[in-house]
Amino acid sequence: MSTPLLETRNLGVRFGGLQALEGIDLQIRSGEIFGLLGPNGAGKTTLFNLISGITPASSGEVLWRGGSIGGLDANRIARLGMARTFQNLRLFSSLSCLDNVLVGLHRQGRLPWAAALVGTPMAQRRQRELKSRAHELLALLAIGHLAEQNAAALSYGDRRRLEMARALANSPELLLLDEPAAGMNPGEKDQLRDLIRRIRDQFDLTILIIEHYVPLMLGLCDRLAVLNFGRRIALGTPDQVRRDPAVIEAYLGGSR
């Protein structure tokens, strides 16, 4: 089998006396939509933070294309081709939607500093290209009409869409989505499923997604892992996970 795009080996983190994650082994294959399920406090977002370099791991390692990325800063990891959204939304609130996406396009705007300073025709053309790219991404997420709006003025659902647009602007190979459906109504959640499939195909992405809404996850993901109390309690296709006794116990409680 080929090397997985992302792999965690025996990954764990301890915050003081709390073992937040322990012995997490996952292999994310190129092109799949991989879901992380689990009750609140199971360690899903913590796992995202370990993978994206925001929190250092206490044990184990994260491998990107087979090479360890332990100890790299968040910005170095982002540059490898990993982009993420945040459960609590971290937009640049004083900037317009368009500028938020332009920040996401940061790496693609690289120019000689003197050209950027003076604003040579080459730099201006580059700037126009990036802007039209940003407009395309906003339109793809159905918030094109809000381009000039301040990010702080957006509704909750639109802010989630803007975060996705910004993450896509990074042109990542792996997209980490932390509860993208939070704050959306059932109709919007169904649209979101189609949207995530569409961007996976259009951008040739691998997606790692955290979501509480189980019907969305079962219908969307190729494979799922279930976490509970910092441990992986199940792994497999949606059908396998749905029937797993450990999962049923975690969600519905054990029978006596």
Which residues here bind other proteins, judged by CB under 8 A? 52, 54, 73-75, 78-79, 83-84, 86, 90-95, 99, 102-104, 106-107, 109-111, 113, 116-119, 123, 127, 132, 135, 138-139, 144-145, 147-148, 166, 169-170
Q: Shortest distance, CB of residue 250 to other proteins, whole angstroms?
A: 30
User: How near is the Cβ of 5 to other proteins at its closest, in Å?
Assistant: 18
Q: Return the number of the residue (2 or 94) whose C-beta is nearest other proteins.
A: 94
Given the complex with other proteins, which of 70 and 245 has the nearer CB atom?
A: 70
Report in angstroms how near the CB of residue 107 gets to other proteins at its nearest: 5
Which residue from 57, 61, 70 is spatially nearest to 19, judged by alpha carbons? 57
User: Residue 131 or residue 242: which is nearer to other proteins going by CB?
Assistant: 131
Between the CA atoms of 97, 146, 167 and 37, what dihedral angle is there, to the nearest 10 degrees?
120
Smallest separation, CB 178 to other proteins (Å): 11
- Identity of the residue, 170 or 228, whose beta carbon is nearer to other proteins in the bound complex: 170
Contacts (Cβ under 8 Å, ≥6 apart) of 141 = 161, 162, 164, 165, 195
Token couple for 137: 């991404």
Spatial distance between the Cα atoms of 232 and 36, rounded to a whole number of angstroms: 10
Quote the least distance from Cβ 117 to other proteins, whole Å.
Answer: 5
Contact 208, 113 (CB under 8 A): no
CA separation for the pair 142, 131 (Å, rounded)? 16
Residues forming a β-bridge with 207: 33, 175
Task: State which residue, 122 or 240, has the beta carbon closest to other proteins.
Answer: 122
